[in-house]
Chains A and B, each alone.
Chain A
Amino acid sequence: MSVRHFSLKRRAVAVVAASALMAAGCGGSGDAGGEPDGPVKIKVWAWYPSFKPVVDLFNKTHTDVQIEWTNAGTGQDQYTKLQTALKAGKGAPDVVMIEFQEIPTFQLTKHLVDMGEYGANAAKGNYVDWAWKQVSNGGKVYAIPVDAGPMAMLYRKDIFDKYKLTVPKTWAEFKSQAQKLKAASPNSFMTDFGANDGGFMTGLLWQAGARPFNYTAAKSPDIGLSVNGAQAKSTMAYWEDMVGSGLADTTAFQTTDFYSGLTTGKYATYLAAGWGPGYLASVAKKTEGKWRAAPLPQWTAGANAQGDWGGSAFAVTDQAKHPKQATKVAMEIFGTSKDAWRIGIDQAFLFPTVTPILQWDYFQGKKYGFFGGQKVNEVFVPAYNGIGEFHWSPFNSYYFSQMTTAMNQAIEKKSSWPGALDTVQQNVSKYASQQGFKVAQ
């Protein structure tokens, strides 16, 4: 599932705003090819919260290009519409929001324009290496990164104080603190392991150094698959033990039970991503001031291994009539604009990928009332910078669904979690071969 399911209310507002915008801008651009007279209209699909003021800002500050924005649904809903429109050859937007893990899927079907031909490589210097590699392959640029989800540990300071827990720096300490908590408060859990979220689980594996896929657009149809590699297996064995000993809960993420667990203090920590602070503030309002952020525990003491959960980018589709202007839109909607990012940070709770904004005092020094005035980005920015390169497969929805199914079955039947990874590896390999890939284990 996607990363930004959080505010339903906000989504509803966005939908209303989108339909109003559509009604207002029904004219559309009729001219094909050549340099147009008036401003070029670029259709954009995105589901960022509070996106309308960002679009308004862009339209106010640009005379040559104007954005017509539509919220075509969140995550899979939008991808379904996009796939259909791309297959049909019409009806797709010029610029579209795509999460990192889905970019290879859309790239493979050759529906994404190489923005490198239209000057997108100029932006390369604004991004750290791993983020740029999520969207590009050599000089070919398939999307411009917007936000990311570096992982960290959000914890309840009140609960930690009450049971005299220390903030764990390693996963071993995380477990010992969990045992201490369990002994003092049997109904509490150290955290919740949401096995229904492929992005969450992959983020944890990413931190552990697991690399399930070895794939780039240039190498296609060759793909390396090692979903059940040693690091992945040891990570899952750790969580199997945590869950088996009653230290971690397995309530599905984004369910009422999960929200109530966050609010009532059933969970002492929430392993979250860069968008987590805003998400938490909207789903567990009552706990304002009780949370703090700390770096993700490490497998090796003193190491700096990080993982990412979520993140998205703007791509240009092959249906764009003005790919040059569309590229400009993708690069400049958020770009390095402080005004746009002020909205993105304060209202949409996005974690920026672009270095000038990450280094901006306003962002780094922003105090979050929900976290008792803590400057949480001082935790998330180093986490972001510590993330390593990671490849996704061009059939991510299949991989996510196999992961969530296998892990949930392992939880339910109390069977081996590392064994579940073997099942995923088998199924994904079979699927990849069926799809015509040359699979290397």
Chain B
Amino acid sequence: MPKLKLGLYWAASCGGCEIAIIELREKILDLDAAVEILFWPVAMDYKYHDVEAMPDQHIDVCLFNGAIRNSENEHVAHLLRKKSKVLVAFGSCAHTGGIPGLANLYSRKSIFARAYLDEPSVVNNDHALPQTSYAMPEGQVNIPRMYNTVKTLAQIEDVDYFVPGCPPQPHQIWAVVEAILSGNLPAKGSVVGANDKTVCDECKHTRQEKRIKKFYRPHEIIPDSVSCLFDQGILCAGPATRGGCGALCTKVDMPCRGCYGAPPHVVDQGAALLSAAASVADASTEEDAARIINEIVDPVGTFYRFGLPASLLHRNRIGST
């Protein structure tokens, strides 16, 4: 039987998804026995022109991690879609935009200004900013154009499956690999390698539905290991996040950060979490409510930590920051 042809790519990502695949540990040998890797820039020396030279749909499965942040990401996404039978958005960034998606609170202009001009550690007397093309004596050189708006893979290409997580958990990756190898795949567009219930379902902490007088940030409190972190006043994304990770963060008493994205039937993860957060405030007057609620620093960054590009509004208005 011919081996399954696998492609892996990273767009706007940190490389953690690649590490997650290595985290398969000894199973990586089973993976190697079952598949032939045709493209994996982080680990193997293949070039884009190798992919361009392939016939269409030559790759059986492409695991695509990273958000779409610049013209190179988008170009390779279109290329890999053409060359792959099955395109999988792998990890939070490809699925919902991930941490790079928080750049949607800024514009390209303000990001460039911060990174190249205003940053205290930067010396840039010429006020040089990245240019997409430049005439060198040897000829014109071009670099990809950074976009104003970070997008998810599904916002620019047709995606077959989504594997959530920052990064996806190895046991879930293996479950997905097994499903692919056995041909036992769910309907197109499904989220695979995750549960249909929230993180709370897997969490060891006990919910008592207490009302809280004050919100704490994780560094301001040492939580106990028994009662619900929300009950203790810590903003935990668990109630608005799809389970499947095994409640890794809350297992060590850190609040869930929401990387597995919205559970089924929730359109906007941040709005769901905002609702959950506001409803635990112990306030019977408008003044009390406003006081407790105003302690929440950076609502967008907290409620949409991994999913701003996939949210209803996608980004803030350009020019507002």
Are A and B physically bound partners? no
Q: Which residues of A are at the interface with B, using a C-beta cutoff of 8 A?
A: none
